[in-house]
Amino acid sequence: MDNSVPLPSNLPNTIPSDSEFNAAYDRCVALQARAPILQLDPPRSPSTLICARILGYMLIYAPGRHNIAKDISRCVDDNELLHLAQLTYDYFICLFNAAKSQTHEYSFLDHTSGPSFDTTKAAIAHITEESPIDQRTAKAHALARDNFRCVVTGAIDYVAYHNNKQLTVEALAQELPVFHTEVVHIFPAFTNKGEDNLKPEYAANERTMVNHFAGHDISQELDGIKIHCLENILTLAIHVHAFFDRLALWFEEVDTHQDTQHTYQVCGNPASICSFPPIVTFTTSDPLHLPLPSPYYLGIHAAFCKVANLSGATDCIGKAFGDMEEISTMASDGSSADTLYCALIHALLAKPVF
């Protein structure tokens, strides 16, 4: 089913713009109008229509929208415009692929046979002794900050429930749900696989695209081990994590007043989020050592989600990933272009974007 939304003919009045910005948006609208008659041989993925909408919606939602406008203005023809949109589409594929690609690193909190605690305070004290935060300890630190719960559903982590007497009592007394949870990266670190000669160029292109979209050098902030910083991770139940990675769930900050900081509206595909609370507030008992997820990072993720959903990219990628699991032979008439392209990007996820 096509859930994409055509670009509005004019920019919303809330978007600050100048002549270059307006010209860039007009090119996107014109490309959208020409999409049905543009003949691409061989067929490519994503389609021209999706590419036009990716570019247009980036101008509306990306924090670095003026960078995007400059990138569009540098494109001399349709092929360059399509290539520019394709970089963003590739990143959407990376996000879809993140959950499958990341190798889970176990900590002591992943085993019911691990250390047990009488109180959550004792558990947090034990966890914060593990320093620095890295891939191995990130889940434990995120759980400690998030009170051993999914930040959306409030479900208690399954292993923590078994290893912490206080959580066991609370769950039973208040009839709280208990689920397996996972540490979720707002900006993911992708696993190392693929052809070595393709790694540097692919990673560099994606870093540039993300930085332009964000309007800020995110790659420097999250370089190396810093990708696992608490500002870039949160605790989600497994099923919630799946929606987040597939761009069907995001968080929009309610406002920036002091008394409602870190309060977010839970947004996304209505079918995906209908059972979730509409508003969530992230809290921490130790802002210095256990800082909350960055509103800025969550805002960039939300912008990516809006662009991906409104442009039709999520529908296209979701179908392609489904087809990858079901078909063994690609069609010779080009109808498998989306599936083949996703499979190629899957193979090229050779090193972290950051």
What is the per-residue pLDDT across 277-313, written as a single tens digit (0 to 9) for each?
999 999 999 999 899 999 999 999 999 999 999 999 9
Question: Does residue 225 sit within a domain?
Answer: yes
Question: Does residue 233 sit within a domain?
Answer: yes
Residue 281 in tokens: 């507030």
pLDDT of residue 189: 72
pLDDT of residue 130: 60
pLDDT of residue 193: 34
**Residue 137 — pLDDT band, cuts 50, 70, 90?**
confident
Q: Which domain holds residue 137?
A: 103-354
pLDDT of residue 108: 46
Nearest to 218 by CA among 173, 259, 178, 187: 187
* Percentage of the chain exceeding pLDDT 70: 73
Whether the per-residue pLDDT at 39 is higher than 80: the answer is no
According to the 3-state scheme, what is the secondary structure of 9-75? CCCCCCCCCCHHHHHHHHHHHHHHHHHHHCCCCCCCCCCHHHHHHHHHHHHHHCCCHHHHHHHHHHC
- Check: CB of residue 94 under 8 Å from CB of residue 345: yes
Whether the per-residue pLDDT at 325 is higher than 70: the answer is no
Question: Does residue 94 sit within a domain?
Answer: no
Higher pLDDT, 105 or 200: 200
- How many structural domains are present in the chain? 1
Question: Does residue 244 sit within a domain?
Answer: yes
Distance CA 201, CA 351 (A): 11
Nearest to 28 by CA among 215, 41, 15: 15
**Residue 194 — pLDDT band, cuts 50, 70, 90?**
very low
Question: Does residue 196 sit within a domain?
Answer: yes
**Residue 351 — pLDDT band, cuts 50, 70, 90?**
very low
Choice among 129-133, 151-155, 210-214, 253-257 with the minimum mean pLDDT: 129-133
- Check: CB of residue 77 under 8 Å from CB of residue 323: no
Nearest to 71 by CA among 81, 57, 56, 86: 81
Distance CA 163, CA 168 (A): 8
Q: What is the dihedral of CA 18, 24, 30, 31, to 10 degrees?
A: -160
Question: Does residue 294 sit within a domain?
Answer: yes
The number of C-alpha atoms within 13 Å of 5 and in the hemisphere containing its C-beta is: 10
Question: Does residue 85 sit within a domain?
Answer: no
- Spell out where the chain has E strands: 156-157, 178-179, 181-185, 233-237, 249-253, 263-268, 279-281
Question: Does residue 15 sit within a domain?
Answer: no
The rounded Cα 137 to chain-centroid distance in angstroms is 21
- Check: CB of residue 278 under 8 Å from CB of residue 254: no
